Structure 1
């Protein structure tokens, strides 16, 4: 599956204030999701965030929200975001069939959402460096499971360059200046 910006949606699941301190790679997940969200918005890709029981877990991490201009935030009670009828209907209405998926906890809400999206006929790209759990082994197991179900593991750079497609476009120059240049020297942790 090649990523296309006109058919993609970035879905950031439950990167919330109350979860961040217990996530093994939580800060990295927020940083990568924020970066990917900035690239997505610059290219006209929809960015959606979910919040699981925000009364108890808090809202989305402020730095994530601050990095985005116009995300749509969904509150949910199901672990699987697609089980929320309003969410599922709105997603279908977008016409976007490629979902770039990341967030927390990878082995619970991100996994269940990914599996449900696959069952509903969406193509799912698991944004590896932005999917986190309390225990890294559980994030790794979730990734393996969703891949066996049909998702593809991707990195943020893979997605960004596939969305960009070419270097002779004014958007590439702007995104390269704003997002890509500083990224080349940053080390990443993958499960």
Structure 2
């Protein structure tokens, strides 16, 4: 299955201020997430972001915030699909491939993946742009997501797959981002 930009959307899950400092390898995760966001932006792929109970977990981290000036989907369910408005918005885009970045891999990301699959989407999990507080939770969540039918990828791999060819402005941007 080829993942094409015309049929894809990026969903950023719960990368929030009060939880993010406790995520294993959070500096690398932050860098990879920004690389993913910049690459997706250069490809004109729509982006959405969810926040889990922002009153308790805070706003989206500062480096991610500028990419979502039109707002966020706030939720109290762990799965993003628990928000009827967010789910309706996803269906309304007509896009089938939902590229996922965020935290925590074993809770909100995992439950979102399971529910996206149930609702007929193809969850594409960017493994170096998701994280958990512990390595074990992260590793087990990847196994479970793959078992549930998610496509696993990396930031560099998905960006070049979406780009499809060299010589374009997006290719030049992505090439600089991944160096």
* TM superposition score normalised by structure 1: 0.88
- When residues 182 and 163 of structure 1 are mapped into structure 2, their CA distance, relative to the original with a 3 A threshold, is closer
Give ranges in structure 1 of 5+ residues lacking alignment. Answer: 185-191
Distance 2:21 2:93 in 1: 33
CA drift of 1:182 comes to 5.2
SS of the residue 2:133 aligns to: coil
Q: Which residue in the other structure is 1:15 paired with?
A: 15
Partners of 1:146 and 1:87 in 2: CA distance? 21
C-alpha distance in structure 2 between counterparts of 1:56 and 1:69, whole Å: 20
Q: After TM superposition, give the deviation of residue 70 of structure 1 in Å.
A: 4.8
Distance 2:33 2:114 in 1: 20
Q: Secondary structure at the match of 2:63?
A: helix
String of CA shifts for 1:148-178, please: whole Å, max 9, x gaps.
11111100111111111111323323x14xx
For the pair 1:181 / 2:179, whether they are aligned, the reply is no
**Residue 153 (structure 2) aligns with:** 154
The answer to whether the aligner puts 1:94 opposite 2:89 as a matched pair is: no
Report the CA distance shift for 1:71/1:163 in structure 2 as closer, same or farther (over 3 A): farther
Task: Deviation per CA, 1:101-147: give whole Å up to 9, x if none.
Answer: 12111000000000000111111111001111111110111110010
Question: Contact 2:39–2:170 (CA<8 Å) still a contact in 1?
Answer: no
1:1-80 aligned at under 5 Å gives the runs 1-66=1-66, 68=67, 70=69, 72-80=71-79
TM-score (norm 2): 0.94
Residue aligning to 2:117: 118
- Structure-1 separation of matches of 2:163 and 2:115: 28
Over the residues paired in the alignment, what is the CA RMSD in angstroms? 1.5
CA drift at 1:59: 0.5
Distance 1:42 1:153 in 2: 22
For the residues of structure 2 that align with 1:55 and 1:46, how far apart are their CA atoms? 26
In the alignment, is the contact (CA less than 8 A) between 1:47 and 1:72 conserved in 2? Answer: no
Q: 1:149 to 1:29 in 2, by over 3 A?
A: same
Structure 1 residues 100 and 72, CA, compared in 2 at 3 Å: closer, same or farther? Answer: farther
In structure 2, how many angstroms separate the alpha carbons of the residues matched to 1:19 and 1:54? Answer: 11
Contact preservation (8 Å) 2:10, 2:47: yes
